[in-house]
Structure 1
Amino acid sequence: MAQLNEIIQWCDQTLKSREFKDYAPNGLQIEGKAEVHKILCAVTASQDAINAAIATGADMLLVHHGYFWKGEAYPITGMRGKRIKSLIQHNISLVGYHLPLDSHPTLGNNAAIADILELKNIEALDPTERNPIGNIGYLAEAISPEAFQVLLSERLGFNAIHLPADKSTIQKVGFCTGGAQDYISKAFEQGCDAYISGEVSERTFYEAKELDVHYYACGHHATERYGVQRLAKAISEQFNIESSYFELNNPI
């Protein structure tokens, strides 16, 4: 058992959440029980994830995509109202960390991608950022763009979409999980052979071709499964409480 406020304080300090200008509040979004015995983590605070938290008796739902995003309507009605009502009725806390969980050098989504792909000599994709959101890494050996697509698809469990460039081999790779396709320009500025993110836009096809940077869309959900799991495990070890992961394989 651990105190909710102690967990939030530890997470805020560990992830340096107050140093980020984000699109949604980081940390405690909906307050439930003061004591936490069990955590369920998920990529997104969907109704399925909430139902799983209720079914497993979790006191806290830890997610990467929570609520109260900039530009959202204020009224708590409809789908979002139902979700929030479910959490409040079952006294479950909702805790969300967005950019801080992308950025963290060991617990973050990008750190996990680097480990999974065995990328070395990790650098910032944007050296001007205090807490880099994207990164650069190097494959041990240069491989063909086609072989890299196969590697990504196998390691990340997602049929990676490849937007080709002219370069015949890939070794220097830029990457930023989720919906960061527009960072391909930063990958170009840093001389990357390829750039990985989760989503893809119509414009990305032309950018990859004209910037000569191979682009791989590997799934928003698929690239961001890992941060919440790493953070939940770290919380479990720090406070000696139980945690588990809920997977709802989103094909986007």
Structure 2
Amino acid sequence: MELEQFEHTIRKLFNKELLEELDDDYGFTNKSRGSFKTVGYSTNLSLETIESAAENNVELMVTHHDAWDFIYGLKEECLKKLKEYNISHFWIHGPLDFVEFGTCTSLMNVIGIDRVTKYSIYDNGDVPGVGEFNEPIDFNVLVKRMRDELEEPVRMWKNNEKQVKKVGVLTGAGHSSNYIKMALEDGCDTYITGEATLYTIQYAQFAGINLLVGSHTFTEIYGVESLAKKIQELNTAIKIVKLKEDHFELNH
């Protein structure tokens, strides 16, 4: 697959308006090859995921996150490693959060939510996605599903006595209380995200909405996986590989 063909695939999968609105939130960190056969995907660009890519003979990495500037020095070290291993890297952050097959929708599908009634969108800021179960389920059943799928001890706060019917989801850093308020205004009884602060927990408790918090990395990996599979569907000759990431956000 040629890099030009890959870029055409991205433009085909994401609508033009979304890419233009968030044009500084995706792109190539490195172009080492003009063509490739193996694509490796992960949530984060890190020295660890680059090593995993090299071990799997990956020629193009696709991630949700670039190496953040405020993790001082990481981007420079990642770029050195990418060049050393002759690996190209493409990241796509905002557009993947706000496309129909993106991070929030993919997590909802994985945990068995029956209907997505509202996609996560960007409207002068993040807006949570909303999904519903056809039949209400016990809160502990939903907790178990998340723990099983994410393979990590998801934190949970049961803040009402209802069965779970309508769920608000904003993967990753969806911890601001205004996101929970949006979910409440949409009639949600439960809110799922990938980070939590004191204020997240306090507001959920005060408002009486259940709270489920996985890790930033593993609430978002399913969106990256959905993207990788769609790229492969449109370019059947390529191989896709999930790159290893540890549950490093958990302080065991």
TM-score band by shorter chain is: 0.7 to 0.9
Of 226, 231, 239, which residue of structure 2 is paired with 1:230? 226
Shift of residue 179, structure 1, vs aligned partner: 1.0
- 1:18 aligns with 19
Shift of residue 120, structure 1, vs aligned partner: 2.5
Shift of residue 12, structure 1, vs aligned partner: 3.2
Alpha-carbon distance between aligned partners in 2 of 1:10 and 1:225, rounded to the nearest angstrom: 20
- Give per-residue Cα distances to partners, 1:70-98, cap 9 Å, x unaligned: xx48xxx8433221111123332110011
Instruction: Give me the TM-score of the superposition, normalised by structure 1.
Output: 0.86
| Matched letter for residue 185 of structure 1 | K
- 1:157 aligns with 151
3-state secondary structure, aligned to 1:36: coil
Question: How is 1:1-252 mapped onto 2 (pairs within 5 angstroms)?
Answer: 2-16=1-15, 17-21=18-22, 25-67=25-67, 69=69, 72=70, 78-106=73-101, 108-124=102-118, 129=123, 134-182=128-176, 183-239=179-235, 240-252=237-249
**Mean alpha-carbon deviation: is it higher for 228-237 or for 241-250?**
228-237
Shift of residue 231, structure 1, vs aligned partner: 1.6
Q: Identity over the aligned pairs, expressed in percent?
A: 22
| Matched letter for residue 12 of structure 1 | R
Are the structure 2 counterparts of residues 68 and 152 from structure 1 closer, same or farther at C-alpha, using a change threshold of 3 Å?
closer
Gapped regions of structure 2 (runs ≥ 5) = none
Are the structure 2 counterparts of residues 87 and 185 from structure 1 closer, same or farther at C-alpha, using a change threshold of 3 Å?
same
Cα pair 2:172 2:220 within 8 Å, conserved? yes
| Matched letter for residue 183 of structure 2 | A
Gapped regions of structure 1 (runs ≥ 5) = none
| Matched letter for residue 248 of structure 1 | E
Cα pair 2:31 2:87 within 8 Å, conserved? yes
What's the RMSD between the two structures over aligned residues? 2.5
Alpha-carbon distance between aligned partners in 2 of 1:84 and 1:35, rounded to the nearest angstrom: 19
Cα pair 1:25 1:68 within 8 Å, conserved? no
Alpha-carbon distance between aligned partners in 1 of 2:121 and 2:98, rounded to the nearest angstrom: 13
Shift of residue 42, structure 1, vs aligned partner: 1.4
Runs of 4+ displaced beyond 3 Å: 19-22, 125-133
3-state secondary structure, aligned to 2:187: coil
Cα pair 1:112 1:227 within 8 Å, conserved? yes
Cα pair 1:39 1:242 within 8 Å, conserved? yes
Alpha-carbon distance between aligned partners in 1 of 2:89 and 2:127, rounded to the nearest angstrom: 23
- Give per-residue Cα distances to partners, 1:45-93, cap 9 Å, x unaligned: 1111111222322221111111365xx48xxx84332211111233321
Are the structure 2 counterparts of residues 54 and 127 from structure 1 closer, same or farther at C-alpha, using a change threshold of 3 Å?
closer
3-state secondary structure, aligned to 2:78: helix
Number of aligned residue pairs: 244
Alpha-carbon distance between aligned partners in 2 of 1:38 and 1:148, rounded to the nearest angstrom: 35
